[in-house]
Amino acid sequence: MSRPGPIEYSDASPEVRAIFDDIKRTRNIADVNNFWKYLAHDPAGLRRTWESIKQVMAEGALSPLSKELVYVAVSVTNGCGYCIASHTASARKAGMTDAMFAELMAVIGMANETNRLANGYRVPIDAAFDR
């Protein structure tokens, strides 16, 4: 098989189970989503990724909702189907309304457009911005 499949909780090692437990507890969910089940083939990577996500996505100077909006923006720009689906769901859970979703999409679209206008016209950075 060219790629390892998902590892379910019942088949997981104690090390992986402990991480799954922490994900479930932190997010208050019954089971971890597929992303973690695939990553579980690499327990060190699973732990590192989870610890990083937990730290990065926590309430801080930015709210969890703001962070999820940014996550969706990156995923949509990159065209990552899995991440668009999962983080749109997370953003909903964090409070994204239909109106916010529509505005988010509009901003993402506009930024992707003007990024290319700036590239194509080779606009030099204004002195006021370049520092």
Interface positions, 9-68, toward a copy of itself (CB under 8 A): 33-35, 38-39, 41-42, 44-45, 48-49, 52-53, 55-57, 60-62, 66-67
Q: Per CB under 8 A, does 110 bind a copy of itself?
A: yes
CB count in 10 Å sphere of residue 63: 12
Which one of 7, 16, 20, 75 is in contact with a copy of itself (CB under 8 A)? 75
Q: Is 18 or 56 the residue whose CB approaches a copy of itself more closely?
A: 56
Closer residue to a copy of itself, CB minimum distance, 4 or 18 = 4
Q: Least Å distance between CB 25 and a copy of itself?
A: 19
User: Which helix H or strand E contains 5, and what residues bound it?
Assistant: none
83 forms part of the interface with a copy of itself (CB under 8 A): yes
Q: Which is nearer to a copy of itself, 21 or 115 (CB)?
A: 115
Tokens of 68: 């999820």
Class of residue 6 by CB neighbours under 10 A (exposed 0-12, middle 13-18, buried 19+): middle
Distance CA 86, CA 63 (A): 18
Contact 40, 29 (CB under 8 A): no
> Smallest gap, in angstroms, from Cβ of residue 24 to a copy of itself?
14
For Cα atoms 72, 80, 44, give the angle at the middle one, nearest 5 degrees.
95
- Determine if 72 is a binding residue for a copy of itself (CB under 8 A): yes
